[in-house]
Amino acid sequence: EAGVAQSPRYKIIEKRQSVAFWCNPISGHATLYWYQQILGQGPKLLIQFQNNGVVDDSQLPKDRFSAERLKGVDSTLKIQPAKLEDSAVYLCASSFQRGQADTQYFGPGTRLTVL
Amino acid sequence: GNSVTQMEGPVTLSEEAFLTINCTYTATGYPSLFWYVQYPGEGLQLLLKATKADDKGSNKGFEATYRKETTSFHLEKGSVQVSDSAVYFCALSTGNQFYFGTGTSLTVIP
C-alpha cells in the first residue's frame, strides 16, 4: 500500500513570496490533515478535511494560509505571503475515517525555509 | 483547553536499560491517547494507542496505560535497543482536534 505522498520535500523562499505544498493521501482515506511542525515543537494541526469539506480550520492563519481538497483526494496548502516565522516542516496525514481513535498516517513532510 | 505535556529530553540510555517517558494531558471529555514515533530520516508513525480509561496499548515491546485518575499515558519499555533511538510524541484526539506533545528524543547507546 502506497503511503502519503508530499511534494516538494524542501523549499527555500524569501519573505513575502508565495509557496504551495501538495499532498496525496492513502487511497480510500476520507480524512486529510495538514500540520505545521516548528523546530523543537510537536506538530500543530492547521486544518482537517473530510472528503472535500473542511471539518476544522480553527488553527489556520487565514490571512495568509489557504488549503483546498477539491475532488476529495489530493490537497494543496498555500502560504501567501510568507513570513519568517512560517519556517517549519509541513506535514500531511490521512486516516480512513474521522473517528477519535483513528490512526493517522503521515507523509515525509515539506521543509520550508523562509529567508 | 486541551493539551499534552511530555517529559523533556534528550534521554540517553544504555542498551537493555528500562525506559519511561512521561506524558500527562488536559482534556475535556474522554479523548483517545497515542504515542507516535519518528525514526531518523523517516516520517511520524503510530507506535500504540488507547481509547478509554484503563486501556493498555502495546507494540514492539512498548506499553502505555490510559490513566484517567492521573491524566497520564506514560510510555515504558523494559529493555531498549539501539534501534529504538528516535523521537517519541505523545498525542491526544478529541475527534475534531488533535494535540501533540513537544517530543522526547531518545538515544540508546550500545
pLDDT classification of B75: cutoffs 50, 70, 90: very high
**More confident of the two residues A49 and B96:** A49
Q: Is residue A1 very low, low, confident or very high in pLDDT (cuts 50, 70, 90)?
A: low
The arithmetic mean of pLDDT across residues B79-103, rounded, is 93
Rounded mean pLDDT, B8-26 = 95
Question: How sure is the predictor about B28, in pLDDT bands with cuts at 50, 70 and 90?
Answer: confident
Phi and psi torsions of B83, nearest 5°: -70, -10
Between the alpha carbon of residue A56 and those of residues A20, A46, A50, the distances in Å are 20, 8, 9
| Average pLDDT, integer, range B21-50 | 93
Task: Please check whether residue B47 touches A, CB under 8 A.
Answer: no
Number of Cβ within 10 Å of residue A8's Cβ equals 12
Interface contact flag, B46 A103, Cβ < 8 Å: yes
Scanning chain B, the segments in alpha helix (DSSP H) are none
Verify whether the Cβ–Cβ distance A42 to B32 is below 8 Å. no
The confidence score (pLDDT) of residue A77 equals 98
Q: Are A85 and A105 in contact (CB under 8 A)?
A: no
Is 80 exceeded by the pLDDT of residue A100? no
- Percent of chain B's residues with pLDDT above 90: 85
Residue in the block written with cell 489530493: A74
Cell of A66: 489557504
Map residue B34 onto helix, strand or coil: strand
Q: How far apart are CA A60 and CA A45, in angstroms?
A: 8
E strands present in chain B: 3-6, 11-14, 19-21, 23-26, 32-38, 45-50, 56-59, 62-65, 75-77, 86-93, 98-100, 104-109
A43-47, A69-73, B3-7, B55-59: which range is least confident on average? A69-73
DSSP B107: E
Q: Which residues of B touch A58 (CB under 8 A)?
A: 97
Nearest to A54 by CA among A32, A78, A25: A32
- The predicted model gives B60-76 an average pLDDT of 97
Give pLDDT, residue A14. 97
Strands, DSSP E only, in B7-55? Answer: 11-14, 19-21, 23-26, 32-38, 45-50
Which of A39-48, B14-23, B91-100 is most confident? Answer: B14-23
Question: Do A42 and B89 make contact, defined as CB atoms within 8 angstroms?
Answer: yes
- Whether B29 has a pLDDT exceeding 90, the answer reads no
Neighboring chain B residues of A45 at a CB cutoff of 8 Å: 97-99
Residues of chain A numbered 45-104 and touching chain B (CB < 8 Å): 45, 48, 55-56, 58, 91, 93, 98-104
For an interface test with A, give the residue of B2, B5, B44 to mutate (most A CBs within 10 A).
Answer: B44
User: In this predicted structure, what is the pLDDT of residue B33?
Assistant: 96
Confidence band (pLDDT; 50, 70, 90) for B95? confident
CB B74 within 8 A of CB B23: yes
Rounded to a whole number, what is the distance in Å from the CA of B21 to chain A's nearest CA? Answer: 15
- Min Cα distance B50 → chain A (Å) is 8
Per-residue pLDDT tens digits for A53-81: 999 999 999 999 999 998 889 999 999 99
Q: How does strand A105-106 pair with strand A31-37?
A: unpaired
The predicted-structure confidence for B37-66, as pLDDT tens digits, reads as follows 999 888 899 999 999 999 999 999 999 999
Round to whole Å and give the CA distance between A10 and A23: 14
- Max alpha carbon distance in chain A (Å)? 39
